[in-house]
Amino acid sequence: MKKQILLAALSIFSLGAFAQETPSFGIRGGASIGTLKGDATSSLNSLLDYTNGAINEAYRTGFYGGTYVNIPLGNGISVEPALYYAQKGYELRGELGIKGAEFIGANAKARLTTHYIDLPVVLKADLGGFQVFAGPQVSYLASAGLRTTAGVLGFNLLNKKMDATQQFNRWDAGITGGVGYQFANGVNISAAYDHGLSRVDAGQNMNAYNRSVKVGLGFTF
């Protein structure tokens, strides 16, 4: 799957050789709302030896930012490779079985934060300012951290951090697509959905995949 995604990215990028206008550069950043789908709960539970009780999944909100190059092909069509730093991950909420405090019922959170370098290469169509785009994306995991907290009656019973990088694959491949609007002064807004196609579990034993939404504000120079 990674080879196919990389080949698709290179194929789209190669279209830039047919650019009919001067490429433009820009910066973009905003909110990244991530989660894991599939066996997400099981993959994180394997890191938590004290999980006990009902577990609910929640989205992990972070940020992303980086730069892009827009290469016009003519007739409102362009190729746009980009390089972003993006926070992803997800959160579990439920009850932890803590020795000596089980009778109280401790509310707990386990937050996974993954730090990725995303390289999307999209085809973009400009329809009078309104834009639609889609293409492949390859991502590299820089690091992953897990923080667990638990408290009752206003008291903090647990606050633990651990490095979870080795539990996840370094490389992820997927597709991305979305919509945006380019203003005449260079400012643009966009919303994109990233759909991971590679298992994030390093052991390849669980079907857990990255999913995220990016909402950003950019400026084209």
Domain map (residue ranges) of the chain: 2-17+26-64+79-130+143-199+209-220
Residue with the two structure tokens 């990028």: 13
Q: How many CA atoms lie within 13 A of 129 on its CB side?
A: 5
Question: Is residue 61 a contact partner of residue 104, using CB atoms and an 8 Å limit?
Answer: no
| Span 116-147, pLDDT tens digits | 999 999 999 999 999 999 999 999 999 999 88
Tokens of 3: 């080879």
> Which CB contacts under 8 angstroms, 24+ apart, belong to 167-170?
167/43, 167/46, 167/47, 167/201, 167/202, 168/114, 168/141, 168/144, 168/200, 168/201, 168/202, 169/141, 169/198, 169/199, 169/200, 169/201, 169/202, 169/204, 170/140, 170/141
Neighbours of 153 (CB within 10 A): 7
If one compares 205 and 120, the residue with the highest pLDDT of the two is: 120
User: For residues 146 and 110, is the Cβ–Cβ distance under 8 A?
Assistant: yes
Computed over every residue of the chain, the mean pLDDT equals: 82
pLDDT at site 64: 98
Over 80: is that where the pLDDT of 173 sits?
A: yes
Residue 17 clears pLDDT 60, i.e. is over it: no
Q: What pLDDT, on the 0 to 100 scale, is given for residue 182?
A: 96
Which residue from 150, 145, 141, 82 is spatially nearest to 116, judged by alpha carbons? 141
Phi/psi at 176 (5° precision): -140, 155
Give the residue-averaged pLDDT of 149-170: 77
- pLDDT tens digits for 50-106? 555 556 677 889 999 999 999 999 889 999 999 999 999 888 776 655 444 444 445
Higher pLDDT, 49 or 162: 162
State residue 130's pLDDT score.
97
